[in-house]
Amino acid sequence: MVKEKLSANIPSLKSWVEVSENSDFPIQNLPFGVFSTKTKSKRVGVAIGNQILDLANLYELGYLSSLSFCEHCFNNEFLNRMMGHGKIEIRELRNRISELLNISNDELYKDKKHLKLVLDLQSSATMHLPIKIGDYTDFYSSEQHAFNVGSMFRDPNNALLPNWKHIPVAYHGRSSSIIPSGEDVIRPKGQQKQDESENPIFGASKLLDFELEMGFITFEGKPLGEQIFTEEADDFIFGMCLFNDWSARDIQKWEYVPLGPFLAKNFASSMSCWIVTLDALEPFRTSGPVQNPKVLPYLEYKNDKHLNIDLSVSIKIPNGEEKVVTESNYKHMYWNMNQQLAHHSVNGCNINCGDLLASGTISGPQKGSFGSMLEISWRGTQPVSMPDGSERKFINDGDTVIFRGAATNGSYKVGFGELVSKVLPAK
């Protein structure tokens, strides 16, 4: 296990960069992302307050010379090369950035010329997909979500399939269609079968849905044939993002037997642009649900491995207001990241730097905390009223779906920024 000091997490830390009280990005967060401006090409940055610290220029000016990184780690259109240095060196980098931004340290702050070169307003920057994603796996790890869906389509008394509480169920998704916050989603087309007595039809999906998820990004794993154990899984996790695994429910219903989702999922998945390190989330550890029946030994874990992260989804109607349609929490997951990574690799599957593993839809235990419109509208039978008097069973063309997430502990807040996606009509 990696054991290095998490000095960047000290609750009393303050930055000389102004950070508003409700900001997602205090000095205790320092998430990594890739940005550009009118005068700067794509490069690695760190969010602090409403600003971005430009690590490419910071490196060039010599402020990171005590670390083992090179220019190409930061003057890069993806985080992967930087991440290739692994957990300990990323932790040292975050600690160094925290030191430079600390209000008690004027090493950087005293040089006003340098400040102009290394700080950019977030409002003046364009954010990009931060990771060159090699492989993408989507889990199905919320018991309430699995129960809700099983109740709708099968029987409440047999909602969970026999394997569900024994293995973290998952499928392999399509990494090529993962897009960043701010990029529009085009309504997919495909086959649908509306009635048992009819032949399938082809057309634009009528039941487009979001799925409230979180994703985690991996460091380089072990060689092919070796497994990652639950007790060491944290060492292979770089950080987390908000994740929307868009779903076309009508296409999915027709195609998912016997091999699972295909066209209903691979048209687009959206991720937030700031990657919050697992280190920054350590103070928000919490216990998870009691797992019954007892899991097999390779899925057993010690200590708190769940995270208390508040989540919400809003729908903004065209030329109108937004409405919060659900509020959930990542702590509701039945299977945690350590178990997911251990199960993913137990057969010897190799995990690469920049792989993305998503949680599956995160549904809380009661109405108001469900993680998809399928559940919120209960398969379209309970429409949601919108501010303009219209109703939503699923997502309409022109709607903008907004995910937000943050962990709070009374001392500070660690947030992910927004994941914003507008739906455009099918082509």
> Residue 310's CB: how many other CB atoms inside 10 A?
17
The yes-or-no verdict on residue 61 having pLDDT over 50 is yes
DSSP H stretches of helix in 102-199: 112-118, 143-153
Q: DSSP characters for 40-71? A: --SEEEEEETTEEEEHHHHHHTTTTTTSS--H
What mean pLDDT is reported for the chain?
96
Q: Which of 84, 82, 78, 15 is nearest to 50 (CA)?
A: 15
Provide long-range contacts, Cβ within 8 A and 24+ apart, for 288-292. 288/331, 288/333, 288/334, 288/336, 289/143, 289/332, 289/334, 291/165, 291/334, 292/165
Task: Please report, in angstroms and rounded to a whole number, the separation of the first and last CA atoms in the chain.
Answer: 50
Model-wide pTM > 0.95:
yes
Mean pLDDT of 51-66: 98
Sheet containing strand 413-424, edge to edge, reads 185-186, 413-424, 400-408, 310-316, 322-329
Rounded CA separation 340/231 (Å): 12
The yes-or-no verdict on residue 425 having pLDDT over 50 is yes
The yes-or-no verdict on residue 105 having pLDDT over 90 is yes
Mean pLDDT check: name the lowest of 4-13, 118-127, 316-325.
4-13
Domains of the chain (ranges, CATH numbers) = 7-128 (2.30.30.230), 136-424 (3.90.850.10)
User: What proportion of the chain, given as a percentage, has pLDDT over 70?
Assistant: 99
Tokens of 165: 């509480």
Residue 247 CA from chain centroid, whole number: 16
The yes-or-no verdict on residue 273 having pLDDT over 50 is yes
pLDDT confidence bin for 4, thresholds 50/70/90: low
The yes-or-no verdict on residue 94 having pLDDT over 70 is yes
Mean pLDDT of 203-210: 98
Q: DSSP characters for 196-212? A: TTS--EEEE-S-EE-BE
Amino acid at 215: G
pLDDT digits (tens, 9 = 90+) for 226-235: 999 999 999 9
User: What proportion of the chain, given as a percentage, has pLDDT over 90?
Assistant: 94
pLDDT confidence bin for 195, thresholds 50/70/90: confident
Q: What is the pLDDT of residue 57?
A: 98
Options 128, 145, 332, 343, the catalytic residue: 145
> Residue 296's CB: how many other CB atoms inside 10 A?
11
pLDDT digits (tens, 9 = 90+) for 238-269: 999 999 999 999 999 999 999 989 999 999 99
Q: What is the pLDDT of residue 155?
A: 87
pLDDT digits (tens, 9 = 90+) for 328-355: 999 999 999 999 999 999 999 999 999 9
Q: What is the pLDDT of residue 1?
A: 47
In this structure, are residues 313 and 402 in contact, taking their beta carbons and an 8 Å threshold?
Answer: yes
344 is catalytic: no
Rounded CA separation 115/385 (Å): 48
pLDDT digits (tens, 9 = 90+) for 277-310: 999 999 999 999 999 999 999 999 999 999 999 9
